[in-house]
Amino acid sequence: MLCAGKASPPAEGLDSGLPGTPWFDDGIDDEELALIAVLEATRHRSAHQYRDPLESHHVRSKTIALPLAGDVKLLVFQHSAFPPGDNGIELMEDIARALEEFMEAPFPNNPVVIGIIEPSLGAGEKPEKGVGHSLNDQLAITAQEYNRGFDLTVFHEMSHIYWCGHTGAPAWFTEGAEGFLPDYAREQLGRQSISSRRLQLHQVWEDECRVRGTGTISKFQRMDDTNPDKYKSCGICAYNLGEFFLMEIYQLFGRDAASAAIRDLYLQARATGWSEPITEEQIYRAYLNNAPRGRVEAFQWLYERYHGGAYDGS
């Protein structure tokens, strides 16, 4: 099982064009099934990005031992040979360990699969920089050669795994959590401190969100209804507002209480088989219930300041 609580994709019926490729006609193993699943989910990007890895591909793999999940297999595949110094597998291991340590819940996927997307420059495709997709169980990320933010992209998309590609939660929470969790990991790995990252986020909040009238999560969400064009132009706020808010809570609560709150939400969602949405009320209650003694009022102030109150879509 790839995503905890969801079934793996069936091998049959994935694509009528697969027969004829030598590795497929010889019979597919688990690694090749994972490759097919990623490509099926990303085939809309272009014919070349779909067909090239089917015709030939290179794979890097590594099995790591995590304290809670046990042995977990990491897989990265791409059409061309991996460049010297490629560190995709190492980045996956770093973030997997940091995520499990913070969440205090077994890492939910095995294997973990990343498909590296390579543009066909000869066919006139333009490189896409900084692109990543989490597709339930699989991750698709633009190659390092065309992606200046490759490290952060791997960390961000790997963080989506705990939420199983869950789309029932508010976007600010899923994207915010997948911004904050790498922030925590990067501090643990000595790459960037939480305080330094907070200053960057605060500047974006000031320059891109607050000055445009989207200084709170609720205001930003309402804009999707009242002014869709402006909402799209403020897309960075979908990431920034949630990440900044969750980081502020982390600094107020401390590591243990912040971990307990987000873990409660994860376990609630997993218990339903990912079939029920994570609501604004659940998010608020999870953090309120885990607020350390003497910090409830400070949390409520933060919630009003950066979230702005419940948003019911009306």
* Chain segment 148-198, per-residue pLDDT in tens: 778 888 888 888 888 765 557 888 898 899 899 999 999 999 999 999 999
Highest mean pLDDT among 24-33, 160-169, 244-253: 244-253
Count of CB atoms within 10 A of residue 237's CB? 26
pLDDT of residue 8: 43
**pLDDT tens digits for 78-102?**
888 988 888 889 999 999 999 999 9
pLDDT of residue 167: 57
- Higher pLDDT: 222 or 140? It is 222
- Higher pLDDT: 227 or 248? It is 248
For residue 153, give Cα distances in angstroms to 131, 143, 185, 205.
7, 10, 13, 21
Can you tell me the distance from the alpha carbon of 2 to that of 245, in angstroms, rounded to the nearest whole number?
Answer: 30
% of the chain beyond a pLDDT of 70: 79
Q: Per-residue pLDDT averaged across 217-238, rounded?
A: 83
- Beta bridge partners of residue 59, listed in sequence order: 77
The closest alpha carbon to 126, from 53, 188, 65, 48, belongs to 48
pLDDT of residue 146: 75
Provide the token pair at 154: 């791997």
pTM: 0.84
**pLDDT tens digits for 252-263?**
999 999 999 999
pLDDT of residue 314: 36
Q: Any idea which of 50-54, 147-151, 264-268, 285-289 has the lowest mean pLDDT?
A: 50-54
Provide DSSP, 93-138: HHHHHHHHHHHTS----SSEEEEEE---GGGTPPP--S-EEEETTE
